[in-house]
A and B are shown apart, each in its own frame.
Chain A
């Protein structure tokens, strides 16, 4: 019999409604899986066993009483630890927030609770979501369930590892430059960054406000759609929240790709991309053409500057966003002779080296005399990139590329060289700068048995097209491999 922790959200939902098992049993299965895998992976920073069981019990009672809150009702999920949870420690992976217990819930957390989802706990991340490997967490790295000597990607590595190994059936992550899609690719999952503004950022601890977006991790395209549908929609508490009708998400899952115009991004097809990843993507392009899609090569020359622009804009915004962590009102305080010394000491002690690096980078980029050359110029690249995307979407419905230039790399491999780590985001960053939706779907394994991700980009608010193609890629790839660690038979390390 299949372990309940290995069910998809859709399968689990059907089983709950058939009465095959309860939400409490489902939740216990995920917690049991966590119990044996956490010592190998460190996917979670906080596991709230008590709260999760209480929520599962309430979900079971509601369902028994005929109250059905939809696909997430009774489903155990994980939330990245940069989304605030009332009464549950929230650290953003930083020492500066060690022990911080928020007095309010992020909008997404409230929405999951309103749908009777069960929140298991908070997952590990690169400190303040700054990183591509989850090695920058102040609480130690998360490991990849497919190979525990490797990183799960980042910054949402904890969410990716948990869903991959079965210690959650789905999870929320956040994506500023690829922090959902890249770990999804490295852990063999579906991960989606929606259109900027579709999911409320209220309660998401900001890294780079104009780029941050919350999105789902799941083991199937349908599950990812269910998760996104549960949290999407206008929120009056986020002024950048999209005010129009929430875009359709799952309406075209079964439509196939006949006649769909797919642009293959030239800039991400060659140099710098692992040949095995190139091959896997090419095989998928052929399969899609066979399925009736029209494929053509498209070019976005500005993507060449996207990485540079991103590493000016994101740190600049971060330098202000992280200014509030000063030891005055909450979090770590290190005493000093004067208020200024106290603030400086608290920040020096509380922030890790990568966060400090980005604050310095961003502060410099915004400084008088440098603003035009750095931040101003980066904003121009952003505009240029948006224009190129807009022009390209006149010709194609979606754009595809690899999600990551490499499969999961070894722990410690890139930590000494920040620039090589920054390059891990090269495929994903353009969508954040443009504000467009983008997702990753697993399409196979490399020679070492590590997952390969296929990226789909769509125009703003065209999530339905993204999911339409994602569903076809899922059908064609028939990716059903699971990491060896994904079993409750494993012994804790």
Chain B
């Protein structure tokens, strides 16, 4: 029985969210009516010429820098020739042998096992328009007509090509997720898989463990979520192993992932694959990125997700909580801000990853749409520290702050949740519970401290949770442990 090893490389396309398109001044707007953000350039009218968008170049340089790539001083645009109705020039302006960014990497972590995935290259290209096929299935073969929308034509597209360093579907998912986090942290794309602003293609082969050469690979397309990426790769690995073990041969081809059937199917073989006839784009001059520009890009990088997680863990937060904070960048921003105001790190992290995340999920709202601020978190921490709020009451207050009822102090006052930390106020309550339970008093006096929890609980009940349990416990001790 052969032990098989999978070899996986991932190509990722990221649409940049720039103000204008890659080679013309048209607005990038995914919600505009069809064919309203178009011009002679992105419609490829006769005579129109491309002019590169500096904001997009800046965006790809940021991605390259964040992936620890070398930013190439002089890179070239090429034409990739193929006929397709939603590609108006019938060639795509892309990069070929001299891309903007080369030789980077991403570090990933699957269940505590770390791995480094090399980044071969990051290059700039333009997106195509969209075809809508007039058929019941939405597929071109059954259509009696097709509609074309060129709003997306010419939107800046960054392609990130990994080395074949990935060995499992889980690693592939971790790679894709981390790449998404990095791009999101840079603020250059909205990174929404469902809307196609990030697209993954996977190159997959299998080989007997220990063998140096790669097996024949297939390219799998059409995964539109991290989950489907992982599923598709897992399926394709098993399919390939099955073919080989059945004495079959893997055909080098492009395969289509079908989410519903959970299987891949052949799209086109290598023989049918196009000769793209790449040649240097004569309408553009070589793109120069001088040292000053490169330095500026590196210097301007925000703290990246991996560094941020490490820093937050080093500050005493559990790794899982740190990951949750960083996953949604705005939570980590709020965390950092609150901590800078002096709040307790662990407490803030617990609230953010507990009550806050739960609230956001339950109400399907974004953090920015809640009433919560760093100052609120800090105030909440102070109220607990002062003994004015129990930890239980604090969570309740937090919920109301999230709902926009005001600051923690205001909520606690309005809802009468402030803790009773006044000894005289609690004396009577403790006395009443002790008087009603002489057997408990007896045990306490004899040195059996187990029932103390029972007494504290009764007092909490009587005060509707407002008593400070620590103070109650001290009172019980002093009242039963000898005068």
Q: Is the interface of B mostly helix, strand, loop or mixed?
A: loop
| Total count of chain B residues near the partner, CB < 8 A | 30
Cβ contact within 8 Å between A202 and B49: yes
Given contacts A210-B282, A367-B275, A375-B279, contact A324 B88 (CB under 8 A): yes
In the complex, are the beta carbons of B81 and A323 less than 8 A apart?
yes
Partner of B47, one of A84, A236, A368, A371: A84
**Bound complex: CA of A371 vs CA of B45, how far in Å?**
28
What 1/0 flags go to B81-122 for Cβ under 8 Å of A?
101010011110000000000000000000000000000000
A106 at the interface (CB under 8 A from B): yes
Contact A240 B283 (CB under 8 A): yes
Tell me if A213 counts as interface (CB < 8 A to partner B): no
With contact pairs A323-B83, A324-B89 given, residues A204 and B47 touching in the complex (Cβ less than 8 Å) = yes
- Binding-face segment, A64-72, A95-103, A280-288: A95-103
> Known: A209-B282, A240-B285, A339-B146. Contact between A366 and B81, CB under 8 A?
yes
Nearest residue (CB) in A for B77 is: A239
Q: When the two chains form their complex, are residues A84 and B46 in contact, meaning their CB atoms are under 8 A apart?
A: yes
Is B284 in contact with A240, judged by CB distance below 8 angstroms?
yes
Binds B, one of A26-34, A325-333, A412-420, A481-489: A325-333
Interface string of B23-57 (1 = CB under 8 A from A): 00000000000000000100111111111100000
B449 at the interface (CB under 8 A from A): no
Q: Assess whether A239 is in contact with B45, with CB atoms less than 8 Å apart.
A: no
Are A339 and B85 neighbours in the complex by a CB distance under 8 Å? yes
Kindly list chain A residues whose C-beta atoms are within 8 Å of the C-beta of B284: 239-240
A-side contacts of B89, CB under 8 Å? 320, 323-324
List chain B residues, Cβ under 8 A from A254.
none
A192 contacts chain B at the CB level, 8 A cutoff: no
A328 touches B46 (CB 8 A): no
Say yes or no: is A60 at the interface (Cβ < 8 Å to chain B): no
Cross-chain contact B46 with A100 (CB below 8 angstroms): yes
CB pair B49–A201 under 8 Å, yes or no, is yes
Question: Is A456's CB within 8 Å of the partner chain B?
Answer: no
Residues facing B in A308-342 (CB within 8 A) are 316-317, 319-320, 323-326, 328-330, 339-340
**In the complex the two chains form, what is the Cα distance from A323 to B279 in whole Å?**
14
A350 to chain B, nearest CB (A): 13
On whether the beta carbons of B83 and A324 are closer than 8 Å, the reply is no
> CB distance A206 to B47 under 8 Å?
yes
A240–B283 Cα distance when bound, in Å, is 6
Q: Which of A100, A204, A325, A326 sits near B85, CB closer than 8 Å?
A: A326
* Nearest CB of B to A199, in Å: 13
Interface residue A238 (Cβ < 8 Å from any Cβ of B): yes
Q: Mark B249-293, 1 if CB is under 8 A from A, else 0.
A: 000000000000000000000000001011100111100000000
Pairwise interchain contact A90-B277, C-beta atoms closer than 8 A: no
Which of A102, A208, A317 lies in contact with B46, CB distance below 8 A? A102
Q: How far is the CA of A204 from the CA of B40 in the complex (A)?
A: 12
Contact in complex: B40, A239 (CB < 8 Å)? no
A115 to chain B, nearest CB (A): 20
CA distance A405 to B133 in the complex (A): 55
The reply to whether A320 and B51 form a contact with Cβ atoms under 8 Å apart is no
A203 proximal to B (CB < 8 A):
yes
Q: Which residue of B lies closest to A202 (CB)?
A: B49
| Contact indicator A323/B90 (Cβ below 8 Å) | yes
Docked complex Cα distance between A489 and B281 (Å): 51
| Cβ A103 vs Cβ B46 within 8 A | no
CA distance A80 to B282 in the complex (A): 22
Interface residue? B244 (CB, 8 A): no
A417 to B472, CA, bound (A): 109
Q: Is B79 an interface residue (CB 8 A)?
A: yes
Pair B279/A366 contact, Cβ less than 8 Å: yes
User: Closest CB-CB distance, A231 to chain B, in whole Å?
Assistant: 15
Which of chain A's residues 175-217 have a Cβ closer than 8 Å to chain B? 201-206, 208-210
Distance in angstroms between the alpha carbons of A240 and B88 in the assembled complex: 21
Contact A238 to B46, CB < 8 A, known contacts A323-B81, A339-B85: no
Tell me the minimal C-beta distance from A168 to chain B in angstroms: 21
Would you give the shortest CB distance from B43 to chain A, in whole angstroms?
A: 6
B51 near A367: Cβ-Cβ < 8 Å = no
Q: Which residue of B lies closest to A83 (CB)?
A: B47
A326-B90, A343-B83, A366-B277 known; A239+B46 contact, CB < 8 A: no
B45 contacts A368, C-beta separation under 8 Å = no
The residues of B with any CB-CB pair to A shorter than 8 Å are: 40, 43-52, 79, 81, 83, 85, 88-91, 140, 146, 148, 275, 277-279, 282-285
A–B Cβ pairs within 8 angstroms, 6 of them: A102-B47, A104-B40, A203-B48, A320-B277, A324-B88, A330-B45
Chain A residues close to B by CB (< 8 Å) = 83-84, 90, 92, 97, 100, 102-104, 106, 201-206, 208-210, 236-240, 316-317, 319-320, 323-326, 328-330, 339-340, 343, 363, 366-368, 371, 375
Closest 8 CB pairs of A and B: A323-B90, A209-B282, A210-B282, A366-B277, A203-B47, A324-B44, A205-B46, A84-B47
Contacts A103-B40, A203-B48, A366-B277 known; 18 new A-B pairs at CB < 8 A: A84-B47, A102-B40, A201-B49, A202-B48, A237-B49, A239-B52, A239-B284, A240-B283, A240-B284, A320-B91, A323-B91, A326-B85, A329-B43, A330-B45, A330-B46, A339-B140, A343-B83, A343-B85
